[in-house]
């Protein structure tokens, strides 16, 4: 199978036309006509994930985040972005990225977050005009309402969060939950307008927490933590779509990257 045939399947799940205008999605490195020997699926395309692709004989990396976001004006290896691009090109490895195209998919990033928490009755939080099935974030319900503390513990457990930041308790039960993978402070007002009891996202700043106004519980679980299951979503999807991949490429495999690409570390204070 060619890269184009593989990415056609990915674009059934997340058409590139759904991506935000500011984004850089699609085939960033490589030729669409190249035959695929193996696929490595990762959240971030870094040097260590390119090395992982090489070790596993994969010549296509499917990455959620785009390694090339702003225009490259040079390519001499001074930055980690340039080094990734150089290593991929030298080793004939293509990089395809999905980012906000998958964010806006009804079965994308936020849907996977809902599944992890066992949420029901999913709807798009910020739907695109004329299409309620496309847009950023989701709002859904817990099967059974929970206390705020119990819900925070559940969120921390399910998302393997080493630390969860949250706004003041509202002292109300949690039933309706809004969520959005990645940097989601821009959607706080939307979560409030839809009467969410809690809103889960990442990258809230100090002043964002004031916006809760005791009307909902804001929960920041971390950028990586909110999107970490995206690569599993894509591996499962590809395995269903091209279960006969080995027929086309005898050595071909679809591999879930084993690399943790979270750039944030935590010093836990037990004092």
What's the pLDDT tens digit per position in 181-206? 999 999 999 999 999 999 999 999 99
CATH architecture of 3-101+228-256: 3-Layer(aba) Sandwich (3.40)
* 131-151 pLDDT per residue, tens: 999 999 999 999 999 999 999
Q: pLDDT tier at 245 (50, 70, 90 boundaries)?
A: confident
* 51-95 pLDDT per residue, tens: 999 999 999 999 999 999 988 888 999 999 999 999 999 999 999
Q: Which pLDDT belongs to residue 72?
A: 85
Q: Which pLDDT belongs to residue 27?
A: 98
Over residues 25-42, mean pLDDT: 97
CA-wise closest residue to 164 among 153, 150, 172: 153
- Cβ atoms within 10 Å of 3's Cβ, excluding its own: 21
Q: Which pLDDT belongs to residue 246?
A: 65
Homologous superfamily (CATH) for 104-221: NIF3 (NGG1p interacting factor 3)-like (3.40.1390.30)
Over residues 142-168, mean pLDDT: 97
* 107-135 pLDDT per residue, tens: 999 999 999 999 999 999 999 998 999 99
Q: Which pLDDT belongs to residue 247?
A: 65
Distance CA 195, CA 229 (A): 26
- The answer to whether 3-101+228-256 and 104-221 have equal CATH topology is yes
Residue 251, pLDDT > 80, answer no
Q: pLDDT tier at 250 (50, 70, 90 boundaries)?
A: low
Kindly list the domain boundaries of the chain, sorted by start residue: 3-101+228-256, 104-221
């Amino acid at each position: 199978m060619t890269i184009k045939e593989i990415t056609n399947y990915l674009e059934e799940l997340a058409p590139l036309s759904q991506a935000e205008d500011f984004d850089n999605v699609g085939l960033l490195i490589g030729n669409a006509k190249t035959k695929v020997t193996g696929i490595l699926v990762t959240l971030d395309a870094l040097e260590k994930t390119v090395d992982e692709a090489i070790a596993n004989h994969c010549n296509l990396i499917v990455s959620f985040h785009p390694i090339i976001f702003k225009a490259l004006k040079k390519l001499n290896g001074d930055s980690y972005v340039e080094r990734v691009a150089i290593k991929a090109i030298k080793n004939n490895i293509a990089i395809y990225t999905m980012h906000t195209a998958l964010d806006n998919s009804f079965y994308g990033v936020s849907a996977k977050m809902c599944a992890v928490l066992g949420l029901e009755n999913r709807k798009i939080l910020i739907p695109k005009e004329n299409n309620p099935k496309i847009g950023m974030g989701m709002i859904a319900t817990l099967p059974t309402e929970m206390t705020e503390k119990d819900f925070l513990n559940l969120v921390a457990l399910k998302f393997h969060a080493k630390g969860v930041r949250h706004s003041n308790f509202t002292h109300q039960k949690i039933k309706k939950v809004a969520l959005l993978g990645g940097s989601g402070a821009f959607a706080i007002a939307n979560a409030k307008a839809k009467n969410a009891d809690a809103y889960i996202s990442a990258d809230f700043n100090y002043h964002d927490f004031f916006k809760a106004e005791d009307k909902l519980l804001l929960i920041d679980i971390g950028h990586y933590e909110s999107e970490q299951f995206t690569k599993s979503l894509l591996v499962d999807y590809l395995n269903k779509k091209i279960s006969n991949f080995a027929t086309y490429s005898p050595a071909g495999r679809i591999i879930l990257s084993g690399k943790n690409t979270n750039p944030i570390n935590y010093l836990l204070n037990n004092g």
